[in-house]
Amino acid sequence: MAEIILTGDRPTGKLHLGHYVGSLRQRVVLQNSGDFDDIFIMIADSQALTDNADNPEKIRTNIIEVALDYLSVGIDPDKSNILIQSQIPALSELSSYYMNLVTVARLQRNPTVKAEVEMRGFQSNVPVGFFTYPISQAADITAFKATVVPTGEDQEPMIEQTREIVRKFNQIYGEVLVEPKILLSDNKVCKRLPGTDGKAKMSKSLGNGIYLSDDSETLKQKVMSMYTDPDHIRVEDPGKIEGNTVFTYLDAFCVSEDFPDFLPDYGCLDDLKEHYKKGGLGDVKIKKFLIKVLERELTPIRERRSRFEKDIASVYDILKTGTDAANRVADATLSEAKAAMKINYFDDTALIKSQQEMYNN
């Protein structure tokens, strides 16, 4: 069976370090592994509109930001198709059929939807489109017959929902759709990177992010004001590692060369943690170290971004090419699904013939 990747992001803002460690970094590794037959990376503008219907300009302007972020981290349009969700009509059509296979109660139980409804303060005013976005997401994944979806942990309930829809569809209509597997980072903190405020998840909507496109000065300011251990007041106080965002980010980003290069008094991250726990290590020192670690990772990303920023037309060409390729695949799956559902009246010559025979007799 072909190995296919589908993954994506909402164009609600620029991409941040949470996206990077949760999904982007892995996508690039998978892309370059050569183990996949096809890769689809989707800018999920229709999904973004489900909770931003009154702000289309925000979605429009962020398409290019997300595309630039993709290219800057090393997504290669020769190896991966970058596509715009709203330009793939088959996705909406598939969603509408999948809606018949899911109950309202099941959607209400979806923990990610629950958490996001609460975070957005929707209370009882949840837009229907937002409420049903797990179903559209199933359409996105299955349209490309994706086998692997690299994403952050918050998407786990979505993939489970997709798998249920696939099983139900195949059971009723026959084996057409493919059940995807989620691919999470094997680094625990990368599955759900907290925000700079220490909050559960770095998120565009919470404004607690460090963006891939932040310049050095902004990065420095954000790190210097990051949440650490509120009880670690004087340098000599013992400090906590658990819930200390600076250490969480070091867990996500630090590589062994960072110590000889930037902090040679320590052999590894565990040594640094031990010293912090014992007392005698100040927040400023660990923050300055984190800045260097992040700078090393982000500098080449910023450089690539600035090259692509000089030719926006070519970025749109990349999006158009990726979207065209995606349409071909999604249309083929839709045709297969419609044939299985017996709603392919005009393509089915046997139908007319058999009905004619019925009337002839």
With respect to ligand ATP, which residue has the nearer C-beta, 162 or 266? 162
The Cα 50–Cα 127 span in angstroms is 7
With respect to ligand ATP, which residue has the nearer C-beta, 185 or 323? 185
Contact between 10 and ligand ATP per CB under 6 A: yes
The Cα 196–Cα 290 span in angstroms is 12
- What is the per-residue binding string for ligand ATP in 125-154, x denoting contact by CB under 6 A? --------------------------xx-x
**Which of 18, 157, 239, 322 is close enough to bind ligand ATP by CB under 6 A?**
18
From 8-16, 88-96, 133-141, 352-360, span contacting ligand ATP (CB under 6 A): 8-16
**Which of 79, 168, 192, 288 is close enough to bind ligand ATP by CB under 6 A?**
192
Contact between 204 and ligand ATP per CB under 6 A: yes
Q: Which residue has the tokens 């590589």?
A: 255
> Residue of minimal CB distance from ligand ATP?
22
Residue 227, number of CB atoms within 10 A of its CB: 17
In angstroms, give the least distance from the CB of 109 to ligand ATP: 19
Residues ≥6 apart with Cβ < 8 Å to 283: 228, 232, 239, 246
CB-facing half-sphere around the CA of 227: CA atoms within 13 A: 15
The Cα 205–Cα 202 span in angstroms is 9
Asked if residue 153 lies in contact with residue 194, where contact means CB atoms within 8 angstroms, the answer is no
**Which of 46, 155, 162, 213 is close enough to bind ligand ATP by CB under 6 A?**
155
With respect to ligand ATP, which residue has the nearer C-beta, 23 or 136? 23
In angstroms, give the least distance from the CB of 17 to ligand ATP: 8
Contact between 65 and ligand ATP per CB under 6 A: no
Asked if residue 101 lies in contact with residue 337, where contact means CB atoms within 8 angstroms, the answer is no
* Rama region for 243: left / alpha / beta (φ>0; ψ in -120 to 50; rest): left
**Which of 87, 112, 205, 327 is close enough to bind ligand ATP by CB under 6 A?**
205
**Which of 9, 38, 45, 140 is close enough to bind ligand ATP by CB under 6 A?**
9
- Rounded to 10 degrees, what is the CA torsion of 200, 203, 208, 211? 130
**Which of 193, 241, 246, 318 is close enough to bind ligand ATP by CB under 6 A?**
193
With respect to ligand ATP, which residue has the nearer C-beta, 185 or 259? 185
From 12-20, 223-231, 304-312, 335-343, span contacting ligand ATP (CB under 6 A): 12-20
**Which of 166, 202, 246, 254 is close enough to bind ligand ATP by CB under 6 A?**
202
Give CA angle at 197 (195, 198), nearest 5°: 70
Segments of 87-131 assigned E as strands: none
From 17-25, 103-111, 240-248, 337-345, span contacting ligand ATP (CB under 6 A): 17-25
Contact between 187 and ligand ATP per CB under 6 A: no
Count of positions on this chain that bind ligand ATP (CB under 6 A): 18
The Cα 82–Cα 77 span in angstroms is 7
Residue 50, φ and ψ in degrees, nearest 5: -65, -25
Contact between 203 and ligand ATP per CB under 6 A: yes
Tokens describing residue 240? 């906590």
Return the amino acid letter for 278.
K
Asked if residue 204 lies in contact with residue 172, where contact means CB atoms within 8 angstroms, the answer is no
With respect to ligand ATP, which residue has the nearer C-beta, 70 or 97? 70
Closest CA to 323 of 116, 119, 77: 77
Print burial letters for 93-120: b (CB count within 10 Å at least 16), e (below 16): bbbebbeebbeeeebeebebbeebbeee
Contact between 201 and ligand ATP per CB under 6 A: yes
> Which spans of this chain sit near ligand ATP (rule: CB under 6 A)?
9-10, 12, 18-19, 22-23, 151-152, 154-155, 192-193, 201-205
